[in-house]
């Protein structure tokens, strides 16, 4: 009986609207992490790898990028005072 199985999509790099739509058959738990090298508010990690078959309603934890200094208009190097 495979009717209630879903294949987990790859949501890495997606925005909130995209991943919520992609994971609508699963229960989403969201964690936050700061990664200055990635786009703010996009998915950095997912707890179940893409392509895995899981039951509908399975909890998947995704990690969203929440950049600490996002939006302060500061586009300088990340070099702290020259070292």
Mean pLDDT over 4-26 rounds to: 97
SS3 21: helix
| pLDDT for residue 75 is more than 60 | no
Q: Which residues contact 72 (CB under 8 A, 6 or more apart)?
A: none
CA distance 56 to 70: 35
Mean pLDDT over 4-29 rounds to: 97
Per-residue pLDDT tens digits for 59-70? 999 999 999 875
Closest CA to 57 of 10, 18, 23: 23
pTM: 0.78
Asked if residues 35 and 67 have their Cβ atoms less than 8 Å apart, the reply is yes
CA distance 5 to 42: 26
Per-residue pLDDT tens digits for 21-52? 999 999 999 999 999 999 999 999 999 999 99
């Amino acid at each position: 009986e495979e009717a209630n199985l879903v294949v987990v999509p790859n949501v890495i790099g997606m925005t909130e609207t995209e991943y919520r739509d992609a994971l609508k058959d699963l229960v989403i738990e969201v964690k936050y992490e700061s990664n200055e090298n990635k786009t703010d508010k996009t998915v950095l990690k997912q707890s179940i790898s893409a392509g895995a078959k899981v039951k509908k309603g399975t909890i998947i934890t995704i990690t969203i990028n929440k950049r600490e200094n996002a939006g302060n208009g500061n586009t300088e190097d990340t070099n702290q005072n020259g070292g």
